[in-house]
Structure 1
Amino acid sequence: LQLAKETDNLVEEQRACTQLGRTYHEILLSSENDHSAIRNAKKYFKAAMKLVKGLRENSPSGKSPHLKELIDSYNNLGMLELDLDNFEEAEQLLNQGLKICDEEEVNQYDDARTRLHHNLGNVYTELRNWNKAKVHIEKDIDICRNIDHIQGEAKGFINLGELHSRIQKYDDAKLCYERALQITKGLEDEDALVDQIHQNIETVMKAAEVLEELKKDEQKLKKLVRDTSNARGTSNERKLLCEQHAWLDNLIEKARMISAWSKHKEFSKAKKRVTNELREKEKQSDALLSIGESYQKLRIFGKARKWYMKSWNMYRSIGNLEV
């Protein structure tokens, strides 16, 4: 970068900034919240984008040079925001990259597009927009297959498997991971990727077992609810309510284990109803906290805050300041 600046070589300066941004991004990924790496990655990626825009503006009329560098600059910044969990910002940057591809009539199977689709698939998975995530992941796979990018195709199937896993479609997830494993057989020096796929297959198989247990336990809870209803006004009512509470705690934990957040919310609200009947404030506070967690994981942040505040206020009212 220093040499490029000294010789006033803007093209090499832009490349050096891009490489420095990627280097700091790698440092960030290998560390935990390295604020220096975050600042420097953003600094150099933004500098690279500014430089490439300047190069394009100062190019001879009618020519459109450095197009791939411009598209990649949006992808790099979008990828960084994705890794920082700034999903909305990442979505805007990556979609701007695709918009430039369309405006400049970039080939539908150009490798610049596959990186954007790959990252947008991850963004929409995190945003729980399953349909959009699936569209972008499948486009990524299709482009990689057409340009013979075997590693990219395998990673695309891994992402698709992750998507299916997030919505508890474990059989579909396993098929995607097995497809990724089949593709990686044609690659050398990809032991880490193969190990990751085997780990993913093992994870979804365990998750499938938990889901089956959850379904069976849910049926037992329904019977327990009926028994409680029949015992209203009797000496057995409170005992059955306590059993419901314990069973709901078990179901909430299993839903948490497999990230079934809609089920987690359903069980947490049922726990709230039971704890209201038991009239035990600490248990009520726990239920409110659990509902807040459900909404947070579902990315409904306004409601998450409301339930967290209710929980906090109730914990304070009973002098429990630890939670």
Structure 2
Amino acid sequence: MANSFAPPDPWLKQLLAAEWTDGIRTRPSRLVINADHVMIGGLVAPIGSLIDARPADQPGAVLSFDLLHDGWKVTRLHKYKPLIYYAAFGSEDIFACLRASIFSLLTHGRWRHDIAVLTSPDRVALVRQQLAPICPPQRLHVAPVTGEDLLDWCCARYRLNAFQALWSAQPLLYLDTDVICDRPIDELMLGLIGSNTINLRQEGRLDEGEATSAGHWFGWRLLAGDGVPFDPSSPGFSSGAIGFANAVMAQPHFDAILASTYGHARSTANRHYYEGYDQPFANYVLRKRRCFATDLLNRSLRIHRVAADHISMPAPRSATGLVHFTGGVGLAEPKRAAMENYLAALSP
């Protein structure tokens, strides 16, 4: 149904230019406005309710607002402008993994929204060139992020200020370059849009299976060093996929992860103290703040461990949306082979 009302008001124009959803009952769709009422999904409200919903404290782009309808019912509507982003640095195999991941997202995931890649300044043109055959240029954003080593590269995922497009998107999903999409992930994205926490995938145990472990991956030594109570047998989580509603919600937590990571590097005079680089600090900060959830990504993402001397692949018939090919930070060559084998198995 086309709009029969062309509003001069910038607030109404902004609403009409986007898709909206409550993340539960209404699928993402555009508002339909005529002279006296507004419709979205099964909701019908007087036009005055839409004008009254203008947030006084958000003069710019609005990501969410409350719509009063049916006299007394209130539904919070969220702008649906999803974006998936990556951080790609290092070897040619890393960039081959990036291309395979985005190819799978566009084909098997049927992704029709924006994609962003954070990379080193000298790789920006190369990334655009490599992805041009598979990704429409109007949906691809490539932004430079400076960095000197693996610690900087791993921490790039938390630098939301690196690119303005990350702040106008909702929801957002960060993916490592070694993640393959094997079916559409629309339900995951709708779940993220109404989330007020950071969403991750469970992996391993905090103590990594033994009380004397080095704590390289899930941050238990950081928790212990700060006196934060924890159960050593509790699951840790991976930072290879991170989902959140929007940058405004996530940035304070991401800033804390960055501050802890670099503060530890300075205090120990060691930028490679943990093999997991950023991941133990994400586990420490988000667990201490009690600001993480795993149910959404536990359902949508499978973890497949890749061994350097044996290439295996998960079962295509068990597709849940995403597969993370893990096996150590930066070890891209065997992951690339496993990802390409899995992509071939997914193809008809």
TM-score by length of 1: 0.28
Higher percent of residues as strand: 2
Tell which has more relative contact order, 1 or 2 (C-alpha 8 A, sep 6+): 2
Greater share of residues in helix:
1
Q: TM-score, normalised by structure 2?
A: 0.27
